[in-house]
Every structure is written in structure tokens, then in C-alpha cells.
With several copies, the nearest count.
Chain A
Amino acid sequence: MSITLTEEPFDAGALLSDFTRGRTETGAVATFTGIARAEQGSTATLELEAYPGFTEAEIGRIAEQARARFGLDDLLILHRVGEIAPGEPIVFVATAAGHRRAAFEACDFLMDYLKSKAPFWKKEHGPGGARWIEPTDADHADRARWEQETDR
């Protein structure tokens, strides 16, 4: 299980190659790569702030929940912090499991958490100035799906 914050641009493919290598007992690897959109040609730069130590620990708690809940063999989360240019990847999540449903659901679950509740503060620097961003209603709704499932 690997959880890392980085200030450097990264190549999602290189991470997937490393994550997949030598997994003879894992049947399924799902990944998600989130990319900073250019938002219809505006040249907004994202600035992402974390609380070093605390942020990794909080993500680690949720990652451990995901590992247990979905029976994962392994998982990897890499998240950019600092200044992120349009077109650059922001986040990469990979999950490994015996079967594809668990790998997909765990990846989806982790992304919903990361997008709505993880300890990051996000500022968008656009042509009209800078503004702090909060999770969208869709982000909150996505995350709530997993809580309803637990209630059943």
C-alpha cells in the first residue's frame, strides 16, 4: 500500500507499469487518472495545498478501509500538490484485486473520497483572478453512495 504526495509532474503509465509488474495472483488492476482540464481554453492553473503528514495519514485511513472492504491485494495513491498546469495529471489511483468488480469499486470509492473529503485546499488561478474551490454537489452525492451501501 503506497500513498504519496508529490510536487513534480508524473507519468500515470509509468506508475501502472510498476504497479502491475510481477502480480501473478492478482487478476484485476483498475486505475483512475485525474487530469487538470484546460476548461475550454482558459489557462487556469491549479494550486493544491496539503498538510504534510496529516494529509497522507488521513488518506491512509480511508485506503485501509478500502483495502478491507473490497478485499484488495494492494493499492497505490499518488497525488500532486503545489502548482498544476492544464493537461497535467493531478491524481493517480490503482487498485489490485482477485476480480474486477472489487478493483473497480475500490478505485471508484477512493476517488469519491479523495475528491470530496481528503485534506486538500484547492485554488484556481484563472484569467479573472484566483478563487478557492469547494467540492461540488456531485462530489458529495458520489461519496454518499458508499455510506448508503453500508446502511443496507
Chain B
Amino acid sequence: MARVLLFGPLRDLAGWRERTIEAGSLSALKAAIAAEDAALAEALDGPGVQVALDQALVRGDPKLAAGSEVAFLPPMSGG
């Protein structure tokens, strides 16, 4: 069960900010999202979207542990 967080425009698009989703890897997590919201899944792969796993930026397809926190960060706007 990963805790999934969405920020900025991704949150508006999805209609939620935080959910728990069953997935053992980032690619499995995205597949689970795509199965119910194709537009959101496409946006998560959009230009400039970064992924943070337990508050550190990651690339590739990391494994997810029970209680992992996965955040999808669209391009940052600055303050």
C-alpha cells in the first residue's frame, strides 16, 4: 500500500490530493492509476513531472515498500 500524493494542477485534474494504492513498484502504481483514470496517468508522465519516493526525487522504476510515500510533482512554480 503506497501513499500517493498529488500536487498543483495534477491534484485538480485527479480530483483528489492523497490516496493509498496497492502497488509493488512505480510502474505498477501508474498502471493501477491508468486503469481507472487514463487522463491522470497520461498527465503523470507529462513533461516536467518529477517523482519523489519518501521525500527524495527518484528516476526509473523504483520498488515500493509497504508505507512508501510517492509524490507526483508537476513543474514547480516557485513562491
Residues of A within 8 A of B (CB): 34, 48-49, 51, 53-54, 57, 79, 90-91, 114-123, 132-135, 139
Q: List CB contacts (< 8 Å) of B1-17 with chain A.
A: 5, 7-9, 11-12
Contact B79 A79 (CB under 8 A): yes
- B78 to A: closest C-beta gap in Å: 4
In the complex, what distance in Å separates the CA atom of A123 from the CA atom of B77? 9
Centre residue among B9, B52, B77, B78 by max chain A CB count within 10 A: B78
* B residues in contact with A135, CB < 8 Å: 77-78
Contact B7 A51 (CB under 8 A): yes
Contact partner of A116 among B9, B74, B78, CB < 8 A?
Answer: B78
Q: Mark B50-79, 1 if CB is under 8 A from A, else 0.
A: 001001000000000000000101111111
Contact A91 B79 (CB under 8 A): yes
**Given A49-B7, A121-B8, A54-B78 contact (CB < 8 Å):** no
**Given A121-B9, A132-B8, A51-B78 contact (CB < 8 Å):** no
> Can you give 7 contacting A-B residue pairs, CB < 8 Å?
A51-B52, A54-B55, A114-B78, A115-B78, A119-B73, A121-B77, A139-B78
Q: How many A-B residue pairs have CB under 8 A?
A: 55
Contact A57 B55 (CB under 8 A): yes
Centre residue among B74, B76, B77 by max chain A CB count within 10 A: B77
Contact A132 B9 (CB under 8 A): yes
Centre residue among B52, B55, B79 by max chain A CB count within 10 A: B79
Contact A48 B52 (CB under 8 A): no
Q: Mark B31-62, 1 if CB is under 8 A from A, else 0.
A: 00000000000000000000010010000000
Contact partner of A120 among B11, B52, B79, CB < 8 A?
Answer: B79
**Given A51-B73, A54-B71, A122-B9 contact (CB < 8 Å):** no
* A residues in contact with B79, CB < 8 Å: 34, 48, 79, 90-91, 114-115, 118, 120, 122
**Given A49-B7, A121-B8, A132-B8, A54-B52 contact (CB < 8 Å):** yes
3 smallest CB-CB distances across A and B, nearest first, come from A121-B8, A122-B77, A115-B78
Contact A119 B76 (CB under 8 A): yes
